[in-house]
Chains A and B, each alone.
Chain A
Amino acid sequence: MLKDITLGQYFPIDSFLHRLDPRTKILIFILDIVAIFMAQTVESYVVLILFTFLVMLISKVPVKMYFKGLKPILYIIVFTALLNLFLTQGEDLPIFGYSVGITVEGAIVAAKMATRLVLLIIGSSALTYTTSPMALTDGIEKLLKPLSKIGFPTHELAMMMSIAIKFIPTLIEETDKIIKAQQARGASFDTGSIFKRAKALIPMLVPLFISAFRRADELAIAMESRCYTGGDGRTRLKEIKFTHKDLAATICFLMFFACVIFLDFIF
């Protein structure tokens, strides 16, 4: 049951976005978030929606996948939209001539919030669908590199992240096994009050942690046997490179970004 979880949601196909330098994608994503929160006017939202559509299109990832990404947070979107709709002070907006407590300002804020959230989720999905977890951690490591000058352990952080990602399926499988073993001996994880259930988790978590520590120990020995000495002097199988493709993508994005700023602040 737990095995079906897809990890990092990477969608392994070949597209322009897949071939971009992960650093480019991460930076564009961060700026995209900034733009989404800066946007105030309808026109700038149109520009951002257009940009998001463009990204979805060139990622070659089926649109269905993006909707799947939206599903888990659909309730949050609806909930925040409703709150904004009813709780914002302002001019009354009658529906079919009746006043139902909705304000004009409320409707605008609700629409804005919903659009923002949807755009954010699609943006982050686009990043994780087109970038493998390995490339993502590599990109983060390279981006944080300047911080290592002041003693920030960038390589260690990236290594920890990628190992953590690698071990998720292994640990999920292990959890599954432990649950089954405990159930076979009469343990029950899904009955009783919330406290009872929480308590029932202890006999599952303890063996899981012990085995995780043992795994960590073995992994450390295996890594040392393969000459791992930390980040210094390490090369990569696939060196990430900033190419003309990345330049084109960056310029293209900056144009959209400039549009948003122009529409919001100058226009």
Chain B
Amino acid sequence: MLKAENLLYSYDNGVKKVDTVLDNLNLNIKKGEFVAVLGHNGCGKSTLAKHFNGLLLPLGGDVYVQGINTKDEEMLWTIRRQVGMVFQNPDNQIVANVVEEDVAFAPENLGIPSAEIRKRVDDALKTVDMYRYRKHAPHLLSGGQKQRVAIAGAIAMRPECIVMDEPTAMLDPMGRAEVMETILKLKAQENMTVVLITHYMDEAAMADRVVVMDDGHIVVDDTPRNVFSQVELLKSLGLDVPQVTELAYSLNKEGFDVNYDVLTVTECADAIMDYVRSIKSGN
């Protein structure tokens, strides 16, 4: 679905070439996968995201979307139609001043007849559960609602894949929960391929696969469970682990033999209970 081969990129600030942002990066994302990309600020996450729909072109190596090379200029719009993008600030990606008109923006650009646009807009708004607000002005909605409108705007193109660049970074906890719920729904119902770039470990824990980046490389690429159990490695990269993992890990370090291979509250509680039981039966 999405493939990066020996991807190389650096920003040119006009004076001199700055450090390489992406350095020989290889990544292959399969259809229907939900991949979370983690990494501290400036590790090249957003730059990577912009390669997936041809906003940036590789300086070295290649990026393929459904087998099409993003360097192929004639196929650029085919690629963009297949990869929906959602960005951090919802205010700066909403174009129109009525919700439904904004969701219609992409299909309008694709030259789809108006009856079909209507259908796509309604479907997209229902998927993100914003259909009730279709006549509202976007600036009067909450952050989470705005971001859901932005997601609807992307899925109205009927893309194969959706790439989100820290969509929850500017939202309150409630808005974040709304957006995560929408992402999980998209994956479950539409079998959408999702690439989620995030700072929140709890969000990454919900993914099928976690990719940890550092200095333009991929350091770890595995299931959330296998990634988050490497607590020391993540900490050395300036990253956190989910709160429950952190708790179990700290207990473990203090000499309590608690299994810290946990991602959810229930799992953590079970692990602690197991430990307590083992002590009880041991005594």
CB < 8 Å: which of B77, B91, B104, B110 contacts A237? Answer: B104
**Complex contact A215–B91 (CB within 8 A):** yes
- What mask results when residues 146 to 177 of chain A are scored 1 for a CB within 8 Å of chain B, else 0? 00000000000000001101100110010000
Q: Which residues of A contact B94 (CB under 8 A)?
A: 166
- Give the size of the chain A interface in residues (CB under 8 angstroms): 31
Interface members, chain B 83-116 (any A CB < 8 Å):
84-85, 87, 89, 91-98, 100-101, 104-114
Kindly state the separation between the CA atoms of A162 and B137 in the bound complex, as whole angstroms. Answer: 13
Q: How far is the CB of A259 from chain B (nearest CB, A)?
A: 38
**Complex contact B111–A234 (CB within 8 A):** yes
How many A-B pairs have beta carbons closer than 8 Å: the answer is 97
**Residue B196 CB within 8 A of the other chain:** no
Kindly state the separation between the CA atoms of A132 and B96 in the bound complex, as whole angstroms. Answer: 11
**Residue B212 CB within 8 A of the other chain:** no
Interface members, chain A 216-241 (any B CB < 8 Å):
218-219, 221-229, 233-239
**Complex contact B93–A219 (CB within 8 A):** yes
Instruction: Known contacts A132-B98, A166-B97, A221-B87; decide if A227 and B92 are in contact (CB<8 Å).
Output: no
Instruction: Known contacts A12-B135, A234-B111, A236-B108; decide if A226 and B154 are in contact (CB<8 Å).
Output: yes
Kindly state the separation between the CA atoms of A235 and B50 in the bound complex, as whole angstroms. Answer: 27
Q: Which residues of B contact A12 (CB under 8 A)?
A: 135
**Complex contact B153–A226 (CB within 8 A):** yes
CB < 8 Å: which of B53, B113, B138 contacts A225? Answer: B53
Interface size class on chain B is 35 or more
Q: Nearest residue in A to B53 (C-beta to C-beta)?
A: A225
Kindly state the separation between the CA atoms of A132 and B91 in the bound complex, as whole angstroms. Answer: 20
Q: How far is the CB of B139 from chain A (nearest CB, A)?
A: 4
**Complex contact A227–B109 (CB within 8 A):** yes
**Residue B118 CB within 8 A of the other chain:** yes
Kindly state the separation between the CA atoms of A234 and B85 in the bound complex, as whole angstroms. Answer: 20
Kindly state the separation between the CA atoms of A225 and B55 in the bound complex, as whole angstroms. Answer: 7
**Complex contact B101–A224 (CB within 8 A):** no
13 interchain pairs (CB within 8 A)? A133-B97, A166-B95, A169-B137, A215-B89, A218-B87, A218-B89, A224-B80, A225-B84, A226-B105, A233-B111, A237-B107, A237-B108, A237-B117
Query: A residues within 8 Å of B by Cβ?
Result: 7, 12, 132-134, 162-163, 165-166, 169-170, 173, 215, 218-219, 221-229, 233-239
Beyond A219-B95, A238-B114, list 5 extra A-B contacts (CB 8 Å).
A215-B91, A222-B85, A225-B55, A235-B113, A237-B121
Closest 9 CB pairs of A and B: A222-B93, A237-B104, A225-B85, A218-B92, A226-B106, A169-B139, A227-B109, A166-B97, A233-B111
